[in-house]
A and B are shown apart, each in its own frame.
Chain A
């Protein structure tokens, strides 16, 4: 049974989400503040964390940053705010997905399943190490190395890198990446853009002028040697 931690200050929303998630077969626990949520995650790590952005005390953005510093647990934001600024900031802080309230329970569980699938892909695939210059990607080990040194990437970032690495030099559109990495039929392309930006900061010498993970204007992204 997959464990989900819900960090949400609104008691009614938290309670209803816990009820619905338990119905769907998740072991769900709740926390009304970021502080309590972070403590719960330290003591009994859940497989996935749902975070609201407007929290008393430590806000959602900072909560995501602290969760991300600890490990690569999948983080899904559920917020009533849908300004581009908020979405981009939350994703840049390290969130894997962003859902706007009210989100249907079916949609939420679909997103959680997609995140789990990503986590499993890492363990199941048996592909040899892929090399792009100084960049090495070993899908089997779930590892990325730059100049031989391991690069810490989240599962979503890793999955995104693997999709691009499996088609070296070929352009994948944002929609294709959304479908393959996040499991969206139609989704928000900002998810892809922000994750690509985060990846570049980790694997490129100069993320402003990328050499490997390049943008093909009007089409999408490709990974080249």
Chain B
């Protein structure tokens, strides 16, 4: 989530930057162009107005008839956009019939012109931009030229459109650039994330290539170093457990053989010695189980060696080995399952042992193969497992607090940890539930069991 956020921020930043830059550029250039176009237009209009004024002035005698005035105005070459009107003795003279054109001339302009001051003003006439030029003539006459700027307005409108489009597409380009840049910059980080995922998934040999990204060499080097350190530590812990257990095996062999000699002569020993010999023998058996379990745990990360196994038959065998009636094995799990025989055998045995030690013995073993998922349920009618214990029961060296626990059958607390480990080796899970009607129900689910 955070990575996506960073990428989004980079893209947004690039887009906003590009937009700000292009909008400023567009605004400035629009202003400059508009200013110069308007000035140019005004100069042209004023020049034309003075020229026309000269024509009108030379044409007007001391006493001229209105028809002559209109004729003079008509003779002016004003084109389509320019309209000339003459104010003479408070009368308006126009070459066109319409009088609306005089409405466009502001009163303030008229006053100034009447005082003999030439003036130019931009006004809105009927919602259209219009330029009014006033040229005072001798005798208090004033020639006004009303110039439509519609064409200019149109040009500016097109310019606005073009500049807006340019700004928007620049922003889009910026976003694209940001997307590319963020992808490019984040790519090495993506590789680091991928590597971390691989390593978490068990590929402890996975390393990054520091030469691939010289700018990130420090990151990749320290990442590799960290992974090396971690895997070395994990390996050291694993090896330590394995080595300790291993070293215990040889003396245990001596103890086991010597204990059997004691055991055989038990009836020839006096009571105290016999009791002591019995204790020694029992403890050696427990010790042996502990060493076996520890070694098994230290081998935990090995994958399951799957083969076709008749699990119901295996479950009955495991029951027989423990003098548990094999009739408790039920369910519809017939047919071969693809599982690691050794692991499943130990898993079943440990669940039965656990039920024996804490639940007064297993009352049902149900096996089912549904959609390739092998389900193993072991029920007991003991006191059940408290919610607190459910959290930790599959941990190492965790022993039940049940009052019914018999110390002599209780192991070192590795049995259920191994159950969880064997389930995990198959990519599955082990959980403990409440059995309907009292007691505990241990459920193991092993995916990928369909042959």
Q: Report B-chain residues with C-beta under 8 Å of the C-beta of A218.
A: 307-308, 336, 451
User: In the complex, what distance in Å separates the CA atom of A87 from the CA atom of B402?
Assistant: 41
Which residue of chain B has the shortest Cβ distance to A21 in the bound complex? B257
CB–CB B317/A186 < 8 A: yes
**Chain B contacts with A in 245-303, Cβ cutoff 8 A:** 246, 249-258, 260-261, 264, 285, 288, 291, 295
User: In the complex, what distance in Å separates the CA atom of A125 from the CA atom of B246?
Assistant: 43
How many residues on the A side are at the interface (Cβ–Cβ under 8 A)?
26
**Chain A contacts with B in 157-200, Cβ cutoff 8 A:** 175, 185-186, 188-189
Most buried by A among B255, B260, B342, B451: B260
- Whether A16 contacts B345 in the complex (CB less than 8 A), given A101-B249, A185-B321, comes out as no
Stretch at the interface among A103-111, A131-139, A205-213: A103-111
User: In the complex, what distance in Å separates the CA atom of A188 from the CA atom of B264?
Assistant: 29
- Partner of A17 from the list B249, B257, B288 (CB cut-off 8 Å) is B257
Which residue of chain A has the shortest Cβ distance to B256 in the bound complex? A102
- Partner of B260 from the list A13, A78, A105, A219 (CB cut-off 8 Å) is A105
How many residues on the B side are at the interface (Cβ–Cβ under 8 A)?
30
- Partner of A103 from the list B253, B258, B345 (CB cut-off 8 Å) is B253
Q: How far is the CB of A108 from chain B (nearest CB, A)?
A: 8
B341 on interface, CB distance cutoff 8 Å: yes
CB–CB B317/A185 < 8 A: yes
Which residue of chain A has the shortest Cβ distance to B258 in the bound complex? A16
CB–CB A105/B451 < 8 A: no
CB–CB A101/B317 < 8 A: no
Interface residues as binary, A87-114 with B (CB distance below 8 Å gives 1, 0 otherwise): 0000000000000111111100000000
User: In the complex, what distance in Å separates the CA atom of A16 from the CA atom of B342?
Assistant: 30
- Whether A80 contacts B249 in the complex (CB less than 8 A), given A16-B258, A23-B260, comes out as yes
Q: How far is the CB of B69 from chain A (nearest CB, A)?
A: 118
- Partner of B257 from the list A20, A82, A100, A188 (CB cut-off 8 Å) is A20
CB–CB A219/B308 < 8 A: yes
Q: Report A-chain residues with C-beta under 8 Å of the C-beta of B249.
A: 80, 100-102
Q: Report A-chain residues with C-beta under 8 Å of the C-beta of B256.
A: 16, 102-105
Which residue of chain A has the shortest Cβ distance to B291 in the bound complex? A102
Q: How far is the CB of B287 from chain A (nearest CB, A)?
A: 9
User: In the complex, what distance in Å separates the CA atom of A105 from the CA atom of B288?
Assistant: 13
Q: How far is the CB of A86 from chain B (nearest CB, A)?
A: 12
Q: Report B-chain residues with C-beta under 8 Å of the C-beta of A188.
A: 342
User: In the complex, what distance in Å separates the CA atom of A14 from the CA atom of B15?
Assistant: 82
Q: How far is the CB of A3 from chain B (nearest CB, A)?
A: 18
CB–CB B341/A23 < 8 A: no
Q: Report B-chain residues with C-beta under 8 Å of the C-beta of A12.
A: 251, 254
**Chain A contacts with B in 73-90, Cβ cutoff 8 A:** 78, 80, 82
User: In the complex, what distance in Å separates the CA atom of A185 from the CA atom of B318?
Assistant: 10
CB–CB B336/A106 < 8 A: no
CB–CB A106/B250 < 8 A: no
Q: Report A-chain residues with C-beta under 8 Å of the C-beta of B285.
A: 104
User: In the complex, what distance in Å separates the CA atom of A82 from the CA atom of B253?
Assistant: 15
- Partner of A16 from the list B253, B291, B295, B341 (CB cut-off 8 Å) is B253
User: In the complex, what distance in Å separates the CA atom of A175 from the CA atom of B258?
Assistant: 32
CB–CB B246/A80 < 8 A: yes
CB–CB A19/B317 < 8 A: no
Which residue of chain A has the shortest Cβ distance to B306 in the bound complex? A218
Q: How far is the CB of B319 from chain A (nearest CB, A)?
A: 12
Q: Report A-chain residues with C-beta under 8 Å of the C-beta of B342.
A: 188
A36 on interface, CB distance cutoff 8 Å: no
Q: How far is the CB of A141 from chain B (nearest CB, A)?
A: 36
A10 on interface, CB distance cutoff 8 Å: yes
CB–CB B308/A20 < 8 A: no
**Chain B contacts with A in 171-189, Cβ cutoff 8 A:** none
User: In the complex, what distance in Å separates the CA atom of A167 from the CA atom of B336?
Assistant: 22
User: In the complex, what distance in Å separates the CA atom of A101 from the CA atom of B164?
Assistant: 85
- Whether A23 contacts B261 in the complex (CB less than 8 A), given A82-B295, A189-B341, A218-B307, comes out as yes
Q: How far is the CB of A65 from chain B (nearest CB, A)?
A: 24
Q: Report A-chain residues with C-beta under 8 Å of the C-beta of B252.
A: 101-102
Interface residues as binary, A13-37 with B (CB distance below 8 Å gives 1, 0 otherwise): 1011101100100000000000000
Q: How far is the CB of A113 from chain B (nearest CB, A)?
A: 16
User: In the complex, what distance in Å separates the CA atom of A162 from the CA atom of B81?
Assistant: 120
CB–CB A13/B317 < 8 A: no
Most buried by B among A78, A188, A218: A218
Most buried by A among B250, B264, B336, B451: B250
CB–CB A13/B254 < 8 A: yes
User: In the complex, what distance in Å separates the CA atom of A188 from the CA atom of B345?
Assistant: 12
Q: How far is the CB of A1 from chain B (nearest CB, A)?
A: 17
User: In the complex, what distance in Å separates the CA atom of A103 from the CA atom of B317?
Assistant: 21
Q: Report B-chain residues with C-beta under 8 Å of the C-beta of A185.
A: 317, 320-321
CB–CB A20/B451 < 8 A: no
Q: Report B-chain residues with C-beta under 8 Å of the C-beta of A17.
A: 253, 257
**Chain B contacts with A in 135-158, Cβ cutoff 8 A:** none
Q: How far is the CB of A2 from chain B (nearest CB, A)?
A: 17
Q: Report B-chain residues with C-beta under 8 Å of the C-beta of A16.
A: 253-258, 261
Which residue of chain A has the shortest Cβ distance to B313 in the bound complex? A175
CB–CB A20/B260 < 8 A: yes
- Partner of A19 from the list B246, B258, B336, B345 (CB cut-off 8 Å) is B258
A interface residues with partner B (beta carbon < 8 Å): 10, 12-13, 15-17, 19-20, 23, 78, 80, 82, 100-106, 175, 185-186, 188-189, 218-219
| 3 tightest Cβ-Cβ pairs between the two chains A and B | A16-B257, A105-B260, A102-B252
Interface pairs (13), CB distance under 8 Å:
A10-B250, A10-B254, A13-B254, A23-B261, A80-B250, A80-B253, A100-B249, A101-B250, A101-B252, A101-B253, A185-B317, A186-B321, A186-B345
- What would 12 more interface pairs be, CB under 8 Å, given A16-B254, A23-B264, A102-B291? A10-B250, A16-B253, A17-B257, A20-B257, A20-B260, A20-B261, A23-B260, A80-B249, A104-B256, A105-B257, A188-B342, A219-B308
